[in-house]
Amino acid sequence: MKMPAINIEDLSEKDKLKMEVEQLRKEVKLERQLIIDKEINPFVDKWEEEGQFPAHKVFKTLGQAGFFGVDKPTEYGGMGLDFSYNIALAQELGSIRCGGIPMAIGVQAVMATPALTRFGSDELKKQFLVPTIAGDFVACLGISEAGAGSDVANIKTTAVRKGDEYVINGGKMWTTSGCQADWMCLLANTSEGPRHQNKSLICLPMNLPGIHVAKKIDKLGMRSSDTAQIFFEDVRVPSKNLIGEEGKGFTYQMLQFQEERLWGAATVLTPLETIIQETIDYTRQRKVFDQSVLHNQAVHFRLAELATEVELLRSLLYRTVALYVEGNDVTKFASMTKLKAGRLAREVTDSCLQFWGGMGFTSEVLVSRFYRDLRLMSIGGGTDETMLSIICKYMETLPSKRQ
């Protein structure tokens, strides 16, 4: 039965607005996909071999297309949309045929800039946020250290107030885009107080004397994204570069962790779907003992299980994002989402690689790249074990230190 055509004039203003928004969303998605297909994917193999993509060139293109300002205020060049639109973008980025570039985009969009957006002064936003949204600046996040990964409170880098400046000493590790960054959102100890109350976030220009990019780290995966080890030696930065209040840095960082973890989970959905589909296509045409590999029940049943798990992850992500946009505390659900995303990324890539046989162990197929790249999902932004501890805390099953 043919459905009757919709008469636009019969719709309410609210429904008309919904249709306009949906049409705009489709147009923006198409534009962004064209950028990925034209400006990124043709060069991914080259950038993977070189161990770095040209961040300033790529980010300028992405900035002009609005990749970095989806949920940022319009007065600073953003679109002023809610965080759910950022998640939609993150899923689109999953069509990039590597993990390193979406990760670097995530640092720029949802890791280095949320605290500055929420708590930074107008002057700081104009100096750092505006050019970052536009793609003129490359940003990095200075949180992790050699002895403080998931345990953020254990960082040792200091920023000592002297007059109108902070003097910074210490170092940061595993800094995404650190070799190319124009500025860093730096977490440092600004007092001797309790470790959850003595930290501050500072906008740190990366061209200041005393900043040393020690090396570009050679990694198992995410090879097209440069990752730096950085040292600070008596680096002087104006005290006005402080984001928000002194001593609130740990709290600000914990707030943005929820967005980071949801973004990370969203970026794995499309790659996992792609890997499953490419594995279906390959095993359908690959013959073993005169029949296709896909014909084996163990193979097509396993792929069905994995596809089901991906959809369950999607549902958990969407529920958590909806709660977050409504203003709820989603720490538990965000931790569950990230935990599941990391576990599933390992499960899907490992199972699918097995079905590719010897080809899966080469660098010629996408499944082997994502096998390496997506392994980081269980480590970066808080390990699986950290997520489990957070979940247990909310379930009130985590043993107290007194026990």
Reported as a pLDDT band with limits 50, 70 and 90, residue 124 is very high
For residue 125, the 8-state DSSP code is I
In the structure, what pLDDT confidence band is assigned to residue 3 with cuts at 50, 70 and 90?
very low
Query: Which entry of 260, 273, 309, 326 is annotated as an active-site residue?
Result: 260
pLDDT tops 70 at residue 27:
no
Taking residues 121-133, report their average pLDDT.
98
260 is catalytic: yes
Position 150 scores a pLDDT of: 80
- Under DSSP, is residue 50 helix (H, G, I), strand (E, B) or coil? helix
pLDDT of res. 264? 97
- Which phi-psi region, left, alpha or beta, contains residue 230 (left: φ > 0; alpha: ψ -120 to 50)? beta
- Model confidence at 24, in pLDDT bands (50, 70, 90)? low
- Within a 10 A sphere around the Cβ of 300, how many other Cβ atoms? 16
Q: Label residue 290 left, alpha or beta by phi (over 0 means left) and psi (-120 to 50 means alpha).
A: left
Q: Which pLDDT tens digit goes with each residue over 341-366?
A: 999 999 999 999 999 999 999 999 99
| Per-residue confidence band for 2, with pLDDT thresholds at 50, 70 and 90 | very low
Q: pLDDT averaged over the chain?
A: 93
Kind and range of the H or E run holding 216? strand 211-216
Question: Is residue 32 very low, low, confident or very high in pLDDT (cuts 50, 70, 90)?
Answer: confident
CB 285 within 8 A of CB 380: no
Contact present, 214 and 229 (Cβ < 8 Å): yes
DSSP letter for each residue of 272-334? HHHHHHHHHHHHHH-EETTEEGGGSHHHHHHHHHHHHHHHHHHHHHHHHHHHHHTT---HHHH
What percentage of the chain exceeds 90 in pLDDT?
A: 88
- Indicate the pTM of the whole model: 0.92
Q: Tell me what the mean pLDDT of segment 19-27 comes to.
A: 62
Task: Tell how far CA 350 is from the center of its chain.
Answer: 22
Q: Is the pLDDT of residue 147 over 90?
A: no
Across the range 177-185, mean pLDDT stands at 98
Q: What is the mean pLDDT of residues 140-161?
A: 93
- 33-89 pLDDT, tens per residue? 899 999 999 999 999 999 999 999 999 999 999 999 999 999 999 999 999 999 999
In this prediction, residues 200-226 reach a mean pLDDT of 97
pLDDT score at 161: 97
